Amino acid sequence: MTRPMTVRRTDPPGLPAAPGLISQVVTVTGGRLVHLSGQVAQDETGTPTGGDHAAQAAAVARNIDTALAAAGATRDDVVKETIYVVDYTPDILRPVLAALRDGVRTVPASTLVPVPVLFAPGYLLEVDVTAALPAPAPAPD
């Protein structure tokens, strides 16, 4: 018999809360994990899209949606993300997170890492996510 999956998102006392933006702790039991390759702002032909951080974050969110859908997941299933940002300044944090959270009811544990460059010129963001889904039902005997 499989256990039902539980996902617990908490902001424990002693750590700053950022409701709607990040969860300080996400605990998953009884499920399976889905790992995506880092997603950037490009269309299906590999052409970069979006000119600024917020526009690229919106494109990245669409690509994450597409990749997660292939695994039967949505951004509400994301439990951990790492955001790599070129040319980071504190004023871009809220627009980037707003684009990544648009239409989402739950928020993941999150890390933002300023980087000097990504794999190709023109890309300002790359987002690596892990999602949690219930374990598949056991096969009937």
Work out the widest C-alpha separation in the chain, in whole angstroms.
57
**Over the stretch 39-59, which tens digit does the pLDDT of each residue have?**
999 999 989 999 899 999 999
pLDDT of 141 above 80: no
Q: What is the DSSP string of 75-116?
A: GGGEEEEEEEEET--GGGHHHHHHHHHTT-SS--EEEEEEES
pLDDT of 129 above 90: yes
**Over the stretch 79-121, which tens digit does the pLDDT of each residue have?**
999 999 999 999 999 999 999 999 999 999 999 999 999 999 9
Q: What is the pLDDT of residue 3?
A: 67
Q: What is the DSSP string of 17-75?
A: -BTTTB-SEEEEESEEEEEPPPB-SB-TTS-B--SSHHHHHHHHHHHHHHHHHHTT--G
Q: What is the pLDDT of residue 2?
A: 59
Domains in the chain with CATH codes: 33-134 (3.30.1330.40)
pLDDT of 140 above 90: no
Q: What is the pLDDT of residue 5?
A: 87
Report residue 136's pLDDT band, with 50, 70 and 90 as the boundaries. confident
Question: How far apart (Å, rounded) are the C-alpha atoms in residues 33 and 79?
Answer: 9
How far is CA 67 from its chain centroid?
Answer: 11
pTM of the complete model: 0.88
